[in-house]
Chains A and B, each alone.
Chain A
Amino acid sequence: MTAQALEQRDFAVVIGLEVHVQLETATKIFCGCSTDAADDEQPNTRTCPTCLGLPGALPVLNEGAVEAAVKVGKALDADIPEQTRFHRKNYYYPDLPKNFQITQYDAPICQDGTLEFSVEGETREVDIRRAHLEEDPGSIKHVRDGTGNLDSRTVAIDRADYTLVDYNRAGTPLMEIVTQPDFRSPSEVRSFLNKLEEVLEYLGIFDSTRDGSLRIDANLSLVPADEIRDDGSISEEVLEAANRTEVKNISSHKGAEKALTYEASRQRNLVQRGKTVEQETRHFNEAHGSTVSMRTKEEEKDYRYFREADLPPLQVAGWKETIDIPELPDARRERFREEYGLDAESASKLTSTKEVADFYEQVAETFDPDLAATWVADNLLGELNYRDMAIEDIDGRLDEFARLVELVAEDEITTKNAEEVVLRRMLDDEMAPDDVIDEEGLGKADDDAVGTAVEEAIEENPDAVEDYHSGEGGALNFLVGQVMQKTGGSADPGSVNGMLREKLDE
């Protein structure tokens, strides 16, 4: 009967995250190799004795990576210690050149931070337990013998004939950000990740377009809903008592929401049927949208952490004061509302990425901020979104888009043409705005040409003129249409209207 009671209790979802982000630095964390993947990069070419883990090679800390980490710490309002140091995490894995990973253990670069984000209009705050620096391993591919390209022969390990290792990625600086189990739904996780990525991009230390730049492990458990305190917190005992699963292999925000939604309902189903949730590690299968047990015995892994003597401790007291970070998205949003008088929605759209915000400010400096907001937030972002593009895709051509706003602001082209023809062709055909205008003949007709067209229209349509004089309303519209046709749409309908009246009423 107690089982029955348990089944009928209402359960809440509790989620904690470990987010691995690749930091954008010019060189790897412990050697001078570039972190930039070349377009035609061959495996194992972006390497040196250190990141290959050759016997005798030593790590030297890239202080740029520590600086980037301190920026993250500042943005998360975390504590930066007086001194930070590195440990070895020992385990055998073929993607690990030395069979240990240099990471941080007892003196991580950031501790006790928070990140605020909004979900469905509500503001939420999640505590960051710690964030530490470490080296990325290499990457491996399990391959089947046969013909055809490698990708088509890449298979699951149990079907592979051999495994290939590529160390190009090895030594890329990683930051592992560990949250408290503060999330209560998969959609909160997604909003948090959006916000985190936004902040990291604002800091200029993260490139979301890079393959593998964000990797997420999540742990999820169900706790009885009535155990959640009024302030939303849960006691340690309740958390300890709940069996949790760790879900690995999540690589996107959408994936995180999907994986955790699946995992939450899987656990709910088990509990409702009176079964227990196994404490285990599960693998997220992105294609199927499900999680599968990794069928490994869940034993506490012993990584035999100990100090990395090759890297002396780094004194970072004071770094927090000397390293500046740019204005973060929340602050910038607030400023946009005040400084440019934007509404909440436009301000939010215009600060969605640092690049959009920078572009908006560049345009708003010269032209009317409202006009700039309409053009950047509605027209440009709308058309980009429609094409599945982002501002990064046109970042070499932002001047051309500023020129388009200028053409509209200076009244050299109608808003309608600018929106419907010029902007679209700029995006679809990668043309400059002036070229589109020339090719389409969209330059606003001069008054002489319009005047001639007005005269012609009156001359050619005596019936309509008569109707106008007898007070028939439709006649004027007909004549306006005639003038617009003659000018190829480049005249302003309002002013044509006025000119016609003037002529007819003479």
Chain B
Amino acid sequence: MSADLNIFVTEETLDSDADGPLSGKTVAVKDNISTEGLRTTCGSAMLDDYVPPYDATVVERLKNAGATIVGKANMDEFGMGSTTETSAFGATKNPVDPERVPGGSSGGSAAAVAAGEADLALGTDTGGSVRNPAAFCGVVGIKPTYGLVSRYGLVAYANSLEQIGPFAPTVEEAAELLDVIAGPDANDATTHDEGADSDYASAADGDVDGLTIGVPTELVEGADDRVVETFEAALSDLEAQGAETTEVSLESVGHAVQAYYVIAMSEASSNLARFDGVRYGKSGGYDGNWNESFARAREEGFGAEVKRRVLLGTYALSAGYHDKYYKKAQDARAWVAQDFDAAFEEVDVLASPTMPVLPPKLGESLDDPLQLYLTDANTVPVNLANLPAISVPAGEAEGLPVGLQLIGPKFGEETIVRAASAVEN
């Protein structure tokens, strides 16, 4: 079945002898997370034959917890996409409806869990890349607070925004996996003490009595009616369980998508600079000086979406444009963070549809990148503000899964896990 859906780039089993909380569990790992001795392609021809000599911290933690890694999951090239169609290894199909995309960029990871190819999966979320495919495939996905999970070994796309996060069929299992990977790491200076002895799993008790849920109007307004309907039904269900909902406004989020793409592309232009044909990709045999040789290697090794983002990011950081784009985007980022801070003075969590649309058909969205970028509207503000969020299945519309997103304050993982577990009730 997995062959049909194109879930894995590399299907290989790494057993663990350790006895731990994940003993007996199988885990799919997104192919931008380094696995020692097992090729890690990032969905790119550039890294077609790149075999890391070291394990990412999260992989080490999986192994120590007794998990069995069953393969490297397909993804949009370097995480740049939200449909898993930009992979150099072909698109992954949605197990719910193989004519539709699984979402992205961690589409392979979400599909692996949805199709039962793995009990659990790891993805990465730079602007929604865990929550988006979780919503489209009908599974649970968590984007942790920036700094909760070590990024050591995660091949960077936009390093100030991204986090590694878990996928699972249920909130409790996703929280269990988060418990395994969370916590400080000496190899990642952006990690904190938080998460060291976490027990997020036990917060999945479904108890939302007295919880205040804010609903940002800006994140509901533009969404597909069928999505909104399912979302509102799920909210009513939470109210029935004792939660209180209230409308809030996040004025800044209208600028979030632009700010997000400027920052992500700028960072990407620098993070991907090392892929120049010398140590990665096709090298040698080109005429001209080394700049020309680097350009050729990058022209051949990168796909169209990666080139687009690297070029735009280079432009946004250039002298004369830096203030107009990059600096402005940073200002907008600070504003978004402030808006969320203010909202959390009033409410415990925020809720929105994870994706404003239902999963599109394969090929449908590739022609219009701008339209596709706009579908990230509900997920990117969370990354800009370094907050935790979870996507949990809220029901179905026309037989397709709809995800509900719950956003918490910094290191408020327990709160979003608790609230999400009530959605499952």
Contact = CB atoms under 8 A, between A and B. Distances in A.
Given A94-B290, A311-B189, A56 B273 contact: no
A58 B187 contact: yes
B52 A300 contact: no
Which of A54, A88, A98 has the most chain B CB atoms inside 10 A of its CB?
A54
A102 to B, nearest CB: 11
Interface of B: 32-34, 40, 42, 47, 50, 52-54, 56, 151-156, 159-160, 186-190, 266-267, 269-270, 273-274, 276, 278, 280, 290-291, 294, 314, 317-319, 322, 326
A175 B309 CA distance: 34
Contacts of B273: 90, 92, 98-100
Contacts of A304: 269-270, 314, 317-319, 322
Contacts of A309: 159-160, 190, 267
Contacts of B154: 56
8 contacts: A55-B155, A56-B32, A56-B33, A60-B188, A90-B273, A98-B273, A310-B159, A310-B189
Interface in A83-120: 88, 90, 92, 94, 97-100
Given A92-B294, A306-B266, A312-B190, A57 B152 contact: yes
A49 interface: yes
Contacts of B318: 302, 304
Interface of A: 49, 53-61, 88, 90, 92, 94, 97-100, 163, 165, 300, 302, 304, 306-307, 309-312
A58 B151 contact: yes
6 A-B pairs with least C-beta separation: A309-B160, A99-B273, A304-B317, A55-B155, A56-B153, A56-B34
B319 A302 contact: yes
Nearest to A88: B270
A94 B278 contact: yes
A392 to B, nearest CB: 36
A97 B267 CA distance: 17
Contact of B155 (A56, A88, A100, A306): A56
Nearest to A309: B160
A306 B274 contact: no
Contact of A56 (B156, B160, B280, B326): B156
B187 to A, nearest CB: 6
A270 B96 CA distance: 78
Contacts of A56: 32-34, 40, 52, 56, 151-156
B189 A61 contact: yes
B42 to A, nearest CB: 7
A291 B385 CA distance: 52
Contact of A49 (B32, B40, B53, B319): B53
B270 A310 contact: no
A90 B317 contact: yes
A43 to B, nearest CB: 14
Nearest to B46: A55
A290 to B, nearest CB: 25
A61 B52 CA distance: 23
A404 B160 CA distance: 63
Query: Which of A90, A94, A97, A304 is most buried by chain B, counting CB atoms within 10 A of its CB?
Result: A304
Nearest to B330: A307
Contacts of A92: 273, 276, 290-291, 294
Nearest to A97: B274
Given A55-B42, A55-B52, A56-B56, A306 B270 contact: yes
